[in-house]
């Protein structure tokens, strides 16, 4: 994320120069966040990362199997606020056994339909097994329909909530016309400048920095992406 913002900063001068045409009194008043503020982040297990926001939502990303939940005892993670939600990102296929019930979690979300919870301390593959761990979880498991998360929740008698399937998002396509083009750049620039009656059809697609903020850094990366796209087309 930091690398993306550093890259974006290299393009800031030309963007700010264009912004002056709309009036210096209105430069980027929209420095808003699409969700809560990130208060800390880090890495664990060699190939996984975590991010915690001030709403108590812990996001874990990476690829592979998390067999050792060492992060649950990491003071960097649990030293800020009460964690209510854990979101396990797409690409994580297996979660090692741990009794997570004492942590007071209200929601656990599995974004990979194939991600499974191990039921035994030896982290054996639970697929097809009749073994049910004695975890007493009172929160909600979130996952896709017919996913491993749903199977796990139903097996334990836990509450399950289905994640709605949304259309594929095209990064940068803020006007929602199905393609990323210069018209998206111009629309997003006008939105950042608070030009009256300017609306984004898909705000999330503008978050090119992937930090849940919509600001000039995203605009810079959008311009960079368009330049690279044009270069590829003319190559």
pLDDT digits (tens, 9 = 90+) for 129-139: 888 999 999 99
> pLDDT value at position 141?
95
Give CA–CA dist 113/146, Å, rounded. 8
Kindly state the tokens that stand for 228.
Answer: 């690279």
pLDDT value at residue 168: 65
Taking only the tens place, the pLDDT of each residue in 104-160 is: 889 999 989 999 999 999 999 898 888 899 999 999 999 999 999 999 999 999 999
Rounded average pLDDT over 159-184: 83
| Residue 30 confidence (pLDDT) above 60 | no
d(CA 129, CA 135): 16
Q: How many CA atoms lie within 13 A of 182 on its CB side?
A: 3
Mean residue pLDDT of the chain comes to 80
Distance CA 82, CA 78 (A): 7
114-119, Cβ contacts within 8 angstroms, sequence gap of 24 or more: 114/147, 114/148, 115/88, 115/147, 115/148, 115/149, 116/148, 116/152, 117/152, 118/67, 118/94
Query: Structure pTM?
Result: 0.58
Range with the lowest mean pLDDT among 40-49, 67-76, 80-89, 169-178?
A: 67-76
Comparing 170 with 94, the larger pLDDT belongs to 94
Angstrom CA distances, 209 to 9, 151, 168, 204, 234, stand at: 11, 35, 18, 11, 26
What digits encode the pLDDT tens for the residues 42-71?
A: 888 778 888 888 888 889 988 899 988 776
Q: What is the DSSP letter of 72?
A: G
Q: What is the mean predicted confidence (pLDDT) over 179-187?
A: 90
CATH, domain range 2-34+167-234: 1.10.1330.10
Residue 153 pLDDT? 96
Read off the pLDDT band of 16 (50, 70, 90): very low
Pick the range with the lowest mean pLDDT from 95-109, 118-132, 165-179, 217-231: 165-179
Q: What is the pLDDT of residue 231?
A: 77
Q: Where are the domains of the chain?
A: 2-34+167-234, 38-162
């Amino acid at each position: 994320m930091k690398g993306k913002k550093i890259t974006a900063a290299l393009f800031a001068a030309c963007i700010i120069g264009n912004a002056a045409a709309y009036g210096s009194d209105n430069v980027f008043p929209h420095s808003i966040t699409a969700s809560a503020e990130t208060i800390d982040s880090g890495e664990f297990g060699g190939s996984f990362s975590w991010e915690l926001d001030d709403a108590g939502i812990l996001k874990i990303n990476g690829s592979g199997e998390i067999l050792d939940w060492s992060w649950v005892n990491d003071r960097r993670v649990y030293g800020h606020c009460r964690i209510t939600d854990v979101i396990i990102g797409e690409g994580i296929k297996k979660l090692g056994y741990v009794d997570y019930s004492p942590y007071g979690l209200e929601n656990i979300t599995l974004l990979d339909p194939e991600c499974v919870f191990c039921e035994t301390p030896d982290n054996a593959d639970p697929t097809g097994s009749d073994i049910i761990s004695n975890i007493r979880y009172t929160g909600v498991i979130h996952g896709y329909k017919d996913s491993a998360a749903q199977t796990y929740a139903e097996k334990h008698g836990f509450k399950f909530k289905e994640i709605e399937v949304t259309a594929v998002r095209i990064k940068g396509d803020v006007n929602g016309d199905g393609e990323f083009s210069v018209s998206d750049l111009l629309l997003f620039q006008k939105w950042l400048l608070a030009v009256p009656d300017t609306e984004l059809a898909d705000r999330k697609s503008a978050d090119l920095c992937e930090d849940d903020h919509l600001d000039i850094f995203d605009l810079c990366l959008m311009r960079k992406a368009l330049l690279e796209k044009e270069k590829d087309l003319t190559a």
